[in-house]
Amino acid sequence: MKNPIITMLTDFGTKDHYVSAMKGVILSINPKCLLIDISHEVRKQDVREGAFILGNAFSYFPKGTIHLAVIDPGVGSERKPILIRTENYFFIGPDNGLFTIAAMKDRVRKVIQLTNKRYFLSNISSTFHGRDIFAPVAGYLSLGIKPDVFGKEIGKWVKLDFSEPNIKGDKLLGKIIHIDSFGNLISNIDQERFLKFINAHSFSIKIKNRKVSHIKRGYWEGRDKELIALFGSGGYLEIAVKDGSAKSILNAKKGDSIIVERGRA
């Protein structure tokens, strides 16, 4: 039998004992789990950033993988602990929108509010549900316990509004939604939308008072320090600088606007 895979995404960092305590809890329940870190460096309490990173990683894992994600500013409050069953995966964590991108991409089948304390640690702190609720539920789920056993099905779950680009006349108005550790600026404009909007016209891309007029095929095509545009590995329009950081050069930040302007035919 294949060993079950549990991925983990948190904003806990890797210095403290928080992540390893969760791993210990899971392995105490099911020592056969394969634990894979997606990221523990999500910006503190930035649920949107977590949703983006999870949304870009989850689908590469084998069918049946359990994705455990804890960015949880409301830990201990009334926010619900949930388990989402999608077409191919399981997601476990707080009901605060963290699963918006991933779960919607993979089609939600069922959402369970975690209420069955039999599958929690016996003492539940009010500050660390990652260790006390989410990790043990992931461990038990990996043993083959059915989702319904963990709680009651609920109809609604929190979805965050990730803004889509707008069209205004000859302009496609987008935003920078992620900046990776290379300093590449990733926008919310996907390739299909871009091509349909451009429709074979000429175009220019504006960001932070700079203009880019061509799409490159790869980072290597730029000249040294040149600002370039390309479609990145997630399929989104990206601003980069060869051998440099577009973030630093443009002093860019998440939320900055990026505008594609269509020329005449």
Residue 79 near residue 96 (C-beta atoms within 8 A): yes
Among residue numbers 61 through 80, which ones bind its own copies (CB under 8 A)?
61-62, 65, 73-77
Among residue numbers 128 through 167, which ones bind its own copies (CB under 8 A)?
128, 131-132
Query: In angstroms, what is the minimal distance from the CB of 43 to its own copies?
Result: 9
Q: Which of 62, 63, 93 is nearest to 79 (CA)?
A: 93
Identify which range of 146-154, 178-186, 193-201, 247-255 contacts its own copies by CB under 8 A: 178-186
From the list 173, 180, 197, 249, which residue makes contact with its own copies (rule: CB under 8 A)? 180
CA distance linking residue 68 with residue 120, whole number of Å? 15
Task: Provide the token pair at 21.
Answer: 């305590």
Identify which range of 29-37, 80-88, 155-163, 165-173 contacts its own copies by CB under 8 A: 29-37
Residue 262 near residue 197 (C-beta atoms within 8 A): yes
Helix %, strand %, coil % of the chain (to 5):
25, 30, 40
Tokens 């388990």 belong to residue: 83
Query: In angstroms, what is the minimal distance from the CB of 209 to its own copies?
Result: 25
Tokens 């990683």 belong to residue: 57
209/233 with CB nearer its own copies: 233
Identify which range of 141-149, 158-166, 211-219, 256-264 contacts its own copies by CB under 8 A: 211-219
List, in sequence order, every residue forming a beta bridge with 228; answer none if it has no partner: 240
Residue 159 near residue 97 (C-beta atoms within 8 A): yes
User: Is residue 36 involved in binding its own copies (CB under 8 A)?
Assistant: yes
Strands 151-153 and 210-212: unpaired
Identify which range of 150-158, 192-200, 224-232, 255-263 contacts its own copies by CB under 8 A: 224-232
Report the SS3 class of residue 92.
Answer: strand
> Any idea how long the chain is?
265
Binding mask of the shown chain, residues 81 to 120, with x at each position contacting its own copies by CB under 8 A = ----------------------------------------
- Binding residues for its own copies, per CB under 8 A? 2-3, 5, 7, 12-18, 20-25, 27-28, 31-32, 34-42, 44-45, 53-54, 56-62, 65, 73-77, 125-128, 131-132, 180-182, 217-221, 230-233, 243
